Homo-oligomer: A and B are copies of this chain.
């Protein structure tokens, strides 16, 4: 005798994402997710292999959202330099608005919790495209890496509160973006 489906994978991933963003990754427990979707924890294992696999699905959703946000930001800028700065600002804004989500994206996690590399690659494709447009195809990869590493480093240190260097972070970020654009030879 079949039993009715009381939830679904998308509903589970949505509930898990909401828990993550509201209360951090340690609040994303199987029991909390189950309660959120109106089911008991063991039932979740019908839709997802385990907590790590759920974390990976959550991370993939976040990566897609970040990618879409970056596409939007890049689309609104005219010159190559402005597009790079717009990307940097968009990443920082995303991380400040959704710190737990952003942190999950770059967290060191067990292999089972790794998001699909193809999804991650898709989200970063904008950066590579904009970089190619700004500095030319043969220097695009280096430029994208330099920019990405700096933005991520700045943002992750800001989130971890490791700067402890006063409140002029906005200015420091703008300074860094300008200097990097100079270093990449953008007009």
A contact set with B: CB distance below 8 Å: 99, 103, 106-108, 117, 120-121, 141-142, 145-146, 148-154, 156-157, 159-160, 162-165, 172, 175-176, 179-180, 182-184
Contacts and interface: CB of A to CB of B under 8 A. Distances in A.
Main secondary structure of the interface of A (DSSP, over half): helix
Contact of A164 (B120, B165, B180): B120
A149 B147 CA distance: 11
Contacts of A141: 165, 172
A179 B172 contact: no
B121 A160 contact: no
Total copies of this chain within the assembly: 2
B164 A157 contact: no
Contacts of A183: 179-180, 182-183
A183 B157 CA distance: 21
Contact of A153 (B107, B120, B148): B148
A20 to B, nearest CB: 13
A156 B141 CA distance: 18
Contact of A150 (B103, B121, B149): B149
A154 B162 contact: no
B149 A106 contact: no
Nearest to A175: B142
Nearest to A168: B141
Given A103-B108, A117-B164, A121-B164, 5 more contacts: A141-B165, A145-B165, A148-B153, A149-B153, A149-B154
Given A142-B175, A149-B153, A162 B103 contact: no
A36 to B, nearest CB: 23
B108 A160 contact: yes
A120 B152 CA distance: 20
Contacts of A148: 153, 157
